[in-house]
Amino acid sequence: MSGSSIYNHRSLQPTARAATAQAPAPPCPPRLNEAFDAIKLEFDNVAAEVEHVKSQKDDIEVKLNAQIAELNSIRRTVYELESQQTKIRRDYEDEIQRLRSELAAIRHQTHPTGPLGIHSLPSNSGAGGGASTNPDSINNPSSSIAPYSEPPPHSSNGRSRDLPLDGRGKELQDPRVVGGRGGEPSSRAPPRDYDMDQQRERELDRLTDQRDPKRMKKRDPSGDQPFVSTPRLPSSHALYPPSGPGGQPYPPPQSDPAGRGGGVPPQSAGIADEFSFHNVPPEFKREGSDWFAAFNPKIKRQLDINLVHSFAHTSVVCCVQFSQDGRYLATGCNQTAQIFDTVTGQKVCELVHDSDAHTGDLYIRSVRFSPDGKLLATGAEDRKIRIWDIANRGIRNTYDGHQQEIYSLDFSLDGRLIVSGSGDRTTRIWDMQDNTCKVFTIVDVVDPSTDAGVTSVAISPRADLVAAGSLDNVIRIWDVASGHLVEMLRGHGNSVYSVAFTPDGKGLVTGSLDKTLKLWDVSHLGGRGGRPGGDRDRGGPPSRGGKVDPDRKVGGTIGGSPCVMDFIGHKDYVLSVSMSSDSRWVVSGSKDRCVHVWDSNTAVLQLMLQGHKNSVISLDLNSANDLLATGSGDSYARIWSLTKVA
């Protein structure tokens, strides 16, 4: 039984583990497949984009190569045109030179000495000419200045505050002083070829002029027509004639309806005739290494001129002025005012102008010594007037108030008042004792678009009148005490850039962009505004300068002051005027690079000085020491001796 029981058993059943191992694998999650599909799609998109970018790159390379080839072709064409133009121009210049030589020979045969006149006095072009900044040019005869040739009419139809500075004025990093009485012509120097120099000057005229001191104005529509002069008063004095028969004064000069003066000046004034430096007799010439002067041979020579000192600056020289005793000369340029000893030629000090509110260039537009010579007032582009203590090299006071840059300053003879003129149409009088300020504003301009910025100011010797020249062609005169506008002088055909009272205060000399100077009789306006140091209005609200004096009796209505003399002869803008202490000589500086010295009694030109290679922006006379100072766009200030001939 037991043996059968061994085979009588149940078959073994599979265990749970075996059942589990034989079960089928579960399917993959669907999310993983979706992720793979998304990755594949993104890869395909990136690959397509790469192919597109590669295609664009190939297209750009093709276009760039085509444009480079076109530019090379244009460059070759330009080079060819430039070569042709240079050849044509050389041919024309040779032809012009030949014709000029023939014309000069013909003139020399017909007029050996040439009749004299003012219009043709040789002068030098400042109409956009580049300034020479080569320090060696002072003593280099080859750098002689060529006679001026009339510039073409300006096509600019507007004013710009400043012509752009092309940087050539900054090439001089170390200002140098060139002293000595240079000026005597060297017997070993080669003769000048003025015609070739003139050709070179024409090239300079195509370049941008360096910074002019004030805004430029478009030419008057009638600017090319000749200006006529008022009849001259008796030769005893052009401004203050003696009484006529019976004690009656001479009749005032007649003005034409246009207000430009009266009839044409007589031939004796020497205006219509022409002459050049070539045909002036040798005894009427004076020549230095880089300057020359021509004297009018039709009249007796009364003056002599010579170069004393030449001071190099790092930029355009905007202003110059002598101290009252003539011992020192102050100059203004970019960021500095400098003071030189007129005897030794050494620089005494340099006053550096810093301005937190003004970045870049900071041109000093005006410098003025106080009458005692202890202070120097400077006006700059940052609209501030700085009063410097010269001995301490520090600023004693600063006057703020102008809304635009300051163009002109002037001290009263007692040193109490300082007058300033700005492009904001205002003239301000600052009292240095109580720090009060009067404001004379130009409010009589009819057309709001007319620019009436003040370019030049002057205070009369009695400190009773202030004159201001402006861009709207008008000179306005205010009474200092009352603040009333007492006179408006009209007659210039373009902006008035310089005004100066005569030493006795009875006359006013003005210079304009119309290339002329005028002498006005303002003697009837004097004696109404107090005396130097006398009582004046103090404090209170500023005066508004457009108000006309209601009590004005003398001289008639506004505009009653006659123009008694016109000075015609400059070939470009008149930028600066001055008068000798004896009222005998009127001196003017122009953009034609020349200084003219005129006889104030006859308006006849005594001499013409051509001593700079760019515009004569500023000048000053010191008759006590017989000195003349000039400042120019060529970055030089110069001192000249202007002496009487025995």
CATH number at residue 328: 2.130.10.10
If you average pLDDT over residues 238-265, what whole number do you get?
A: 38
Domains identified in the chain, total number: 1
Instruction: Give the dihedral of Cα atoms 469, 470, 472, 474; nearest 10 deg.
Output: -20
Percent of the chain surpassing pLDDT 70: 64
With both helix axes pointing from N to C terminus, report the angle between 194-205 and 30-110 in degrees, rounded to the nearest 10.
150
Which amino acid is located at 58 in the chain? D
pLDDT band at 249 (very low <50, low <70, confident <90, very high): very low
Residue 143 located in a structural domain:
no
Lowest mean pLDDT among 2-6, 224-228, 375-379: 224-228
Write out the E strands in 345-464: 347-352, 364-369, 375-380, 385-389, 394-399, 406-411, 417-422, 426-431, 437-441, 454-459
Q: What is the pLDDT of residues 43-88, one digit of tens each?
A: 999 999 999 999 999 999 999 999 999 999 998 899 889 889 888 9
Q: What is the C-alpha to C-alpha distance for residues 257 and 220, in angstroms, rounded to an integer? A: 17
| pLDDT over 60 (residue 540) | no
Residue 160's pLDDT is what?
A: 38
CA distances for 572 relative to 152, 365, 520, 600, angstroms: 11, 21, 21, 21
Residue 139 located in a structural domain:
no
CA distances for 599 relative to 306, 326, 348, 585, angstroms: 19, 23, 35, 5
Q: What is the C-alpha to C-alpha distance for residues 85 and 477, in angstroms, rounded to an integer? A: 54
Highest mean pLDDT among 131-145, 538-552, 630-644 belongs to 630-644
Highest mean pLDDT among 94-103, 350-359, 480-489, 536-545 belongs to 480-489
Q: Residue 284's Cα: distance from chain center in Å?
A: 32
Q: What is the C-alpha to C-alpha distance for residues 289 and 23, in angstroms, rounded to an integer? A: 119
Residue 478 located in a structural domain:
yes
Residue 22's pLDDT is what?
A: 56
Of the candidates 532, 504, 501, the one whose C-alpha atom is nearest the C-alpha of residue 519 is 501
If you average pLDDT over residues 95-99, what whole number do you get?
A: 88
Q: What is the pLDDT of residues 442-461, one digit of tens each?
A: 998 877 788 999 999 999 99
Lowest mean pLDDT among 18-27, 85-94, 414-423, 608-617: 18-27
Highest mean pLDDT among 122-126, 128-132, 441-445 belongs to 441-445
Residue 465 located in a structural domain:
yes
pLDDT band at 594 (very low <50, low <70, confident <90, very high): very high
Residue 411 located in a structural domain:
yes
Q: Is residue 337 within 8 Å of residue 367, measured between CB atoms?
A: yes
DSSP secondary-structure letter at 24? P
Residue 28's pLDDT is what?
A: 62
Residue 199 located in a structural domain:
no
Q: Residue 567's Cα: distance from chain center in Å?
A: 22
pLDDT band at 106 (very low <50, low <70, confident <90, very high): confident
Residue 426's pLDDT is what?
A: 94
Residue 527 located in a structural domain:
yes
Q: What is the C-alpha to C-alpha distance for residues 334 and 169, in angstroms, rounded to an integer? A: 10
| pLDDT over 90 (residue 643) | yes
Q: Residue 296's domain spans which residues?
A: 272-644
Residue 86 located in a structural domain:
no
